[in-house]
Amino acid sequence: MKIIKKIGISGADVYPIVEGGKGVGVSNGLTAGAFAAADAVGTFSGTYPNLTCEELDGPSVRRSEKTRQNRSKQLADEGIRESVAQARIAHEVSGGRGRIHMNILWGLAKAEIMVDGILSGTKGMIHGITCGAGMPYKLAELAEKYKTYFYPIVSSMRAFNILWTRSYNRFSHLLGGVVYEDPWLAGGHNGLSNKENPLVPEDPYPRVAKLRAFMNGVGLKETPVVMAGGVWNLKEYEHWIDNPEIGPVAFQLGTRPLLTKESPISDAWKQKLRTLKKEDIFLNKFSPTSFYSSAINNAFLSELYDRSTRQIEYKDAPDAHFCEPLTLSSTRKTVYVEPDDWARSEAWREEGFSVSIKTPDSTVLFLTKEKARHIQKDQSECSGCLAGCRFSGWLDSEEHRYVTGLRPDPRSYCILKTLQRVIQGINVEHELMFSGSIGYRFAGDPFYANGHIPSISELVRRLLCGG
Ligand SMILES: Cc1cc2nc3c(=O)[nH]c(=O)nc-3n(C[C@H](O)[C@H](O)[C@H](O)COP(=O)(O)O)c2cc1C
Ligand code: SF4
Q: Which of 274, 303, 415, 435 is nearest to 367 (CA)?
A: 303
Same domain flag for 68 and 184: yes
How confident is the model at residue 63, as a pLDDT? 67
Atom of ligand 2 nearest to the CA of 109: 3
Which residues have C-beta within 8 Å of that of residue 331, sequence separation ≥ 6?
none
Answer whether residue 270 is part of any domain. Answer: no
Q: Identify the nearest ligand to the CA of 383 by its number.
A: 2
Task: Say how far apart CA 290 and CA 28 lie, in whole Å.
Answer: 25
Q: Whose CA is nearest to atom 4 of ligand 2?
A: 382
How confident is the model at residue 53, as a pLDDT? 60
Q: Whose CA is nearest to atom 1 of ligand 1?
A: 434
> 335 C-alpha to center of ligand 2: Å?
29
Q: What is the CATH number of the domain that holds 132?
A: 3.20.20.70
Answer whether residue 277 is part of any domain. Answer: no
> 421 C-alpha to center of ligand 1: Å?
18
> Rounded to whole angstroms, what are the CA distances from 432 to 71, 107, 132, 293, 429?
23, 18, 20, 10, 8
Task: Say how far apart CA 353 and CA 365 lie, in whole Å.
Answer: 9
For a ligand 2 pocket test, name from 287, 416, 418, 420 the mutation site with the most ligand atoms within 8 angstroms of its C-beta. Answer: 416
Same domain flag for 98 and 164: yes
Pairing state between β 188-190 and 292-296: antiparallel
The residue type found at 217 is: G
DSSP string, 13-30: EE-SEEEPP-TTTTS-HH
Task: Say how far apart CA 264 and CA 425 lie, in whole Å.
Answer: 10
Same domain flag for 212 and 341: no
Answer whether residue 67 is part of any domain. Answer: yes
Task: Say how far apart CA 268 and CA 265 lie, in whole Å.
Answer: 8
Q: Identify the nearest ligand to the CA of 385 by its number.
A: 2
Output the tens digit of pLDDT for each of the chain's 467 residues.
889 999 999 999 999 999 999 999 999 999 999 999 999 999 999 999 987 665 555 444 456 788 999 999 999 999 999 999 999 999 999 999 999 999 999 999 999 999 999 999 999 999 999 998 788 999 999 999 999 999 999 999 999 999 999 999 999 999 999 999 999 999 999 999 889 999 999 999 999 999 999 999 999 999 999 999 999 999 999 999 999 999 999 999 999 999 999 999 999 999 999 999 999 999 999 999 999 999 999 999 999 999 999 999 999 999 999 999 999 998 899 999 999 999 999 999 999 999 999 999 999 999 999 999 999 999 999 999 999 999 999 999 999 999 999 999 999 999 999 999 999 888 999 999 999 999 999 999 999 999 999 999 999 999 999 98
How confident is the model at residue 101, as a pLDDT? 98
DSSP state of 51: -
Which residues have C-beta within 8 Å of that of residue 235, sequence separation ≥ 6?
1, 466, 467
Q: Identify the nearest ligand to the CA of 396 by its number.
A: 2
3-state class of 189 per DSSP?
strand
Answer whether residue 1 is part of any domain. Answer: no
Same domain flag for 154 and 191: yes
Q: Whose CA is nearest to atom 8 of ligand 2?
A: 385
Same domain flag for 222 and 261: yes
Atom of ligand 1 nearest to the CA of 256: 27
Cβ of residue 294 lying under 6 Å from some atom of ligand 1: no
Q: What's the domain count of the chain? A: 2
- Residues of the domain holding 100: 7-265+441-464
Determine phi and psi for 62, rounding to 5 degrees.
-75, 145
DSSP string, 368-399: -HHHHHHHHHHHHT----BSB-TTT-BBS-TT
Answer whether residue 280 is part of any domain. Answer: no
DSSP string, 34-68: HHHHTTSEEEEE-SSTT---TTS--SSPP---SSH
Atom of ligand 1 nearest to the CA of 130: 11
Cβ of residue 257 lying under 6 Å from some atom of ligand 1: no
Atom of ligand 1 nearest to the CA of 186: 23
Same domain flag for 322 and 256: no
Answer whether residue 394 is part of any domain. Answer: yes
Answer whether residue 114 is part of any domain. Answer: yes
Atom of ligand 1 nearest to the CA of 24: 8
Answer whether residue 276 is part of any domain. Answer: no
Determine phi and psi for 269, rounding to 5 degrees.
-65, -45
Atom of ligand 2 nearest to the CA of 383: 5
Q: Identify the nearest ligand to the CA of 382 by its number.
A: 2
Same domain flag for 113 and 228: yes
Same domain flag for 232 and 376: no
Name all residues whose Cβ lies below 6 A of ligand 2: 288, 382-386, 389, 391-392, 394, 414-416
Which residues have C-beta within 8 Å of that of residue 333, sequence separation ≥ 6?
327
Cβ of residue 21 lying under 6 Å from some atom of ligand 1: yes
Same domain flag for 35 and 162: yes
Q: Identify the nearest ligand to the CA of 410 by its number.
A: 2
> 190 C-alpha to center of ligand 1: Å?
9
Same domain flag for 20 and 138: yes
> 167 C-alpha to center of ligand 2: Å?
29
> 265 C-alpha to center of ligand 2: Å?
22
Task: Say how far apart CA 210 and CA 90 lie, in whole Å.
Answer: 35
Q: Identify the nearest ligand to the CA of 32 by its number.
A: 1
> 218 C-alpha to center of ligand 2: Å?
39
3-state class of 145 per DSSP?
helix
Same domain flag for 326 and 446: no
DSSP state of 304: H
Same domain flag for 305 and 236: no
